[in-house]
Structure 1
Amino acid sequence: VTLSAALLDDAKRAQCAAEIGECVAAMRIAGGSVMPPLPGAMRRPPRAKLTLLGGDVDSQAKQFKRLSRQWLPGFALVSRDDVLQNRWEELRANAPGETPPPTLLDAWLDLSRINHRASRKAVPDAIVGEPTEVIEWVTDSRNGWLVPIPVGYAALSDLYPPGAVAGARDTDVPFRFVESVYSIGQWVSPHRLDDMAQLTWRPDYAPASGLYRCVNAFQAPVTDSYTPVSFTD
């Protein structure tokens, strides 16, 4: 069923949604599996639904807010390229003159793990009567549920015509050697999003740089900035 056919009436949309639901149930999406409801788990198991966003911008915003509350208690994966960029700038600011300077890879690794660091703390000694320095291990805080994610590929070679490279999986399409591109994502509650563009991902291609990647239009609220971590005592 094509999307244009599914828009004709409610029956066509229901049929299209059911077929999409069957396809999704056989895929791994956002690092997880889509599982159908177990028999007897609920009286009326939920079914896939195809909903049209119509009207003006304000009407679509109200409709999205209503739909987003139906998706609770689920989570949506959004792009946080801004967090990665900010962390890179913080690493460089905390290590002036370091050779070589921190890279984006260092910032990505820092955000991809749980960091523990030692902090000096003066504690009063009841016996000696003077403060004693102790080492206390603390865990770096993160604003939100941040995760490392693959977002696409970067070209390593020119684009070869179909069939020019031996051993290619598909000899009917052009071929190019690539490497994976990674960024930082964040799981957020869908009711915190403003519109469908912040929820969905779309493909993007930059011919000049040979970058193939998925992009997301999520914009973090002003109060949702990443908390800087100082490496000094």
Structure 2
Amino acid sequence: MSQYLLLKKISVQNANAIAGLTYGFPAITNFLGFAHALSRKFPETLAVNLGGLAVISHKNTVHARQPKGWGDYVFALSRNPLTHQGKTAPINEEGRMHMQVSLLIEVNGLISGDTETKEQLIEYVKQNVPELRLAGGQITHIESIELTPLNEEQKTLRKLMPGFALIDRSDYLSEHFQQHKAINDNVCLFDAWCDFAQLKFKAEKITSEDEQETEALESVNQKANWHYVAKPQSGYLVPINTGYCAISPIYEAGEVSNVRDSTVPTVFAESAYSVGEWKSLHNIKNIEITLWRYEHQYPWYVAKTIPFEDEIIEPDSSEAMPY
């Protein structure tokens, strides 16, 4: 039974809302990187390290607006200083958001009953967290920082309600891709992923007996009923950025010039995408299924959660891919 470091209701301003091809919430790699950066600040005398983590979203607001009051939303960008020529500086699209999240981080090496180490850990976290950025945003407030008691994970989840935990659903993507593959052998994984990412509608022609004769002559401006096309699976499913896929061999240290760190091997990579699900905390009975951990098997370096078919309390009513 593991013990967890709980950072409850972290308020973050101006976090990055764009994650590769997706937007609306930071990539899961931002949060795993935050935990890694935090653990690197621990002294060697503190013989603990941080492992997987769970991300629980309480509220978030993307900085977006409708220029005409209707239609598509666009990001509300910052106004940068003028250039030396007095002109507006060219900028790239930079989506930002305010968010309030809680993080449950797995603590490895913590001995039960070691009160002194626990107090040191909490103190180091309180000192170092305000100095870090989370998903590129500034941490403005944390409601509380504590270690969860052993065997009380369910109570911890209840304390974080209302909230939604982000869970890996790459199994949905893999299953849907195999169904497409059985029908059309030329289909690619990106096509299956788009069925989860896109908002789709399908047109159905309106015809009557009187209109059937003129239907062949009139091929333009025909009346139709538009129907929403549901996603391949039920649930609050979203496209997510989960890691990286190597697109080159691994080069030895110093073989590639102008890299950030010439003392380690280098590999070129692209973002990897999958499908996630926002699950309400009252539907989760095992905290383990919410923990994201990296899996490394060349060329993949992606974050996943453990399978959880039997670990979710369902209401009565009812694979990663490179770019």
Work out whether residues 148 and 156 of structure 2, in 8 Å CA contact, stay in contact via their aligned partners in 1.
Answer: no
Structure 1 or 2: larger strand share? 2
5+ unaligned residues in a row in structure 1: which ranges? Answer: 38-45, 54-59, 126-132, 228-233
1:64–1:33: structure 2 CA closer, same or farther, 3 Å change rule? Answer: farther
1:11–1:106: structure 2 CA closer, same or farther, 3 Å change rule? Answer: same
Match runs of 1:41-80 below 5 Å: 46-53=143-150, 60=151, 63-80=152-169
Q: Distance in 1 between matches of 2:235 and 2:131?
A: 31
Say whether residues 1:36 and 2:141 are aligned partners: yes
Residue number among 188, 197, 220 corresponding to 1:103 in the alignment: 188
TM-score by length of 1: 0.69
Q: Distance in 2 between matches of 1:5 and 1:91?
A: 47
Which amino acid in the other structure matches residue 216 of structure 1?
Answer: T
Measured on the aligned residues, the alpha-carbon RMSD in Å equals 3.5
String of CA shifts for 1:167-218, please: whole Å, max 9, x gaps.
1111121111122211111111123223232111111111xx4211111114
Deviation at 1:134, TM superposition (A): 6.2
5+ unaligned residues in a row in structure 2: which ranges? Answer: 1-41, 49-108, 211-221, 319-323
1:178–1:82: structure 2 CA closer, same or farther, 3 Å change rule? Answer: same
1:77–1:171: structure 2 CA closer, same or farther, 3 Å change rule? Answer: same
Amino-acid identity (%): 26
Say whether residues 1:11 and 2:119 are aligned partners: yes
Q: Distance in 1 between matches of 2:138 and 2:176?
A: 31
Q: Distance in 2 between matches of 1:23 and 1:193?
A: 32
Work out whether residues 152 and 213 of structure 1, in 8 Å CA contact, stay in contact via their aligned partners in 2.
Answer: yes
Q: Distance in 1 between matches of 2:110 and 2:178?
A: 49
The residue aligned with 1:22 is: 130
The residue aligned with 2:261 is: 170
Residue number among 236, 240, 263 corresponding to 1:149 in the alignment: 240
Work out whether residues 190 and 199 of structure 1, in 8 Å CA contact, stay in contact via their aligned partners in 2.
Answer: no
Q: Highest relative contact order (Cα 8 Å, sep 6+), 1 or 2?
A: 2
Q: Distance in 2 between matches of 1:119 and 1:107?
A: 23
Q: Distance in 1 between matches of 2:258 and 2:111?
A: 39
TM-score by length of 2: 0.51
1:14–1:119: structure 2 CA closer, same or farther, 3 Å change rule? Answer: same
Q: Distance in 2 between matches of 1:163 and 1:134?
A: 65
Q: Distance in 1 between matches of 2:181 and 2:303?
A: 27
Q: Distance in 1 between matches of 2:229 and 2:186?
A: 21
SS in structure 2 of the partner of residue 105 of structure 1? helix
Structure 1 or 2: larger helix share? 1
1:165–1:149: structure 2 CA closer, same or farther, 3 Å change rule? Answer: same
